């Protein structure tokens, strides 16, 4: 007997194909999960690495150029309240080279050397050192200091028997007299007497040895600067401060010294006013006078010259009636140095 033959048995309504589909789906899910587990998981950075290396936006390799948009590391960040930076500089500023050590041939050192030579009595060597510096300097203050030193040394050299390139030795011959010697060498009797310590110029003997200055002097005058430069063979010798004519009354051009007078008489309105040596007297010419005569194409002038003054505060100004004024001490020195026929150039 079969079970379906029993009365109370009911055959279940099963569908076998549904079980087959469910089995296939479960199998597919199992396979998919199994494959996913075999893939490599994403690499995780160690925790300590993130604390050592900055993010890519902040890190700049030591050998790489900084990005154009990144603020340079060397630029100081402004304060929170300040404005943003307006310019960018290289991250590392180039270090300027160290200045070279001061050389011994700079102007300051050479002036020190010249002063040391002067102190030791080597006047000619000191003068040559200063002359070299005068050609090199462009500093007006330093130039004035050097000019004063050269003038001081030149006077010290010229009024002594000290040998120098501008001097010659003269051996007195029978029939010589001091005026003849001075004229032969283009110098002055006063300078010969001073430089050779001749007490009595009327008593010189054959065989005496004199040191004679032979360089030719010339003068240049600047009315604008109220300065006079004395040249010896066209080399700077000394500079003097002077006074010139009011309202440009001092004539310009080329001249020569045609006459020289000690303790000159001053002619005023046809009246002779004698020299008295009184600073408060009427004679305004000071202690010396040197007449100027026009040369070349310069129009003839009369009554002009170089003279001393009792009014020291007028030196450096244009206050005279047209003549060139000097301190009495300066005009006496110049009178001793320059002979008659010394050329003089006056410029505006």
CB atoms within 10 A of CB 269: 5
Distance (Å, whole) CA 139 – CA 134:
10
Q: Looking at per-residue confidence, does 332 or 69 come out higher?
A: 332
What is the set of active-site residues? 307, 323
> pLDDT tens, 95-120?
667 655 544 458 889 999 999 999 99
Across 309-322, average pLDDT? 95
Kindly state the helix (H) or strand (E) to which residue 343 belongs, with its residue range. strand 343-347
Domain 163-214: assigned CATH number: 3.10.350.10
| pTM score above 0.85 | no
> pLDDT tens, 180-199?
999 999 999 999 999 999 99
| Distance in angstroms between the alpha carbons of the first and the last residue of the chain | 161
As given in the structure block, the two tokens for residue 180 are 């003849």
> pLDDT tens, 71-97?
444 444 444 454 555 555 555 556 667
CB atoms within 10 A of CB 235: 11
Indicate whether 308 pLDDT > 80. Answer: yes
The domain locations on the chain are 105-158, 163-214, 217-347
> pLDDT tens, 232-269?
999 999 999 999 999 999 999 999 999 999 999 999 88
Domain 217-347: assigned CATH number: 2.40.440.10
For residues 206 and 174, the answer to whether their CB atoms sit within 8 Å is yes
Please report the DSSP string for 69-96 in residue order. Answer: TSPPTTSPPPPTTSPPP-----SSPPPP
Would you give the distance in Å from CA 187 to the centre of its chain?
Answer: 37
Distance (Å, whole) CA 91 – CA 170:
78
As given in the structure block, the two tokens for residue 88 are 């960018």
For residues 306 and 300, the answer to whether their CB atoms sit within 8 Å is no
């Amino acid at each position: 007997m079969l079970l379906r033959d029993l009365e109370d048995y009911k055959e279940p309504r099963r569908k076998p194909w549904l079980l087959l589909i469910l089995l296939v789906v479960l199998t597919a899910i199992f396979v998919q999960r199994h494959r996913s587990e075999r893939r490599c998981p994403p690499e995780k950075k160690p925790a300590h690495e993130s604390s050592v290396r900055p993010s890519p936006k902040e890190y700049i390799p030591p050998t790489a150029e900084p990005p154009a948009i990144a603020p340079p590391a060397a630029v100081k960040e402004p304060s929170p309240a300040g404005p943003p930076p307006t310019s960018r500089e290289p991250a590392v500023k180039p270090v300027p080279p160290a200045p070279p050590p001061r050389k011994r041939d700079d102007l300051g050192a050479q002036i020190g050397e010249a002063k040391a030579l002067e102190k030791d009595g080597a006047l000619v060597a000191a003068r040559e050192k200063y002359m070299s510096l005068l050609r090199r300097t462009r500093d007006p203050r330093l130039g004035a200091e050097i000019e004063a030193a050269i003038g001081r040394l030149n006077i010290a050299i010229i009024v002594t028997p000290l040998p120098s390139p501008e001097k010659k030795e003269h051996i007195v011959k029978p029939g010589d007299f001091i005026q003849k010697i001075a004229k032969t060498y283009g110098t002055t009797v006063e300078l010969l007497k001073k430089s050779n310590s001749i007490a009595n110029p009327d008593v010189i003997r054959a065989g005496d040895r004199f040191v004679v200055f032979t360089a030719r002097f010339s003068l240049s005058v600047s009315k604008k600067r109220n300065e006079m430069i004395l040249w010896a063979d066209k080399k700077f010798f000394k500079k003097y401060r002077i006074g010139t004519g009011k309202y440009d009354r001092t004539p310009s051009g080329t001249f020569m010294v045609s006459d020289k007078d000690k303790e000159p008489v001053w002619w005023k309105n046809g009246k002779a006013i004698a020299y008295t040596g009184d600073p408060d007297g009427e004679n305004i010419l000071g202690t010396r006078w040197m007449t100027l005569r026009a040369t070349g194409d310069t129009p003839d002038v009369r009554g002009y010259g170089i003279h001393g003054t009792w009014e020291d505060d007028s030196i450096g100004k244009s206050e005279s009636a047209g003549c060139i004024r000097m301190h009495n001490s300066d005009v006496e020195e110049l009178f001793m140095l320059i002979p008659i026929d010394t050329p003089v150039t006056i410029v505006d």
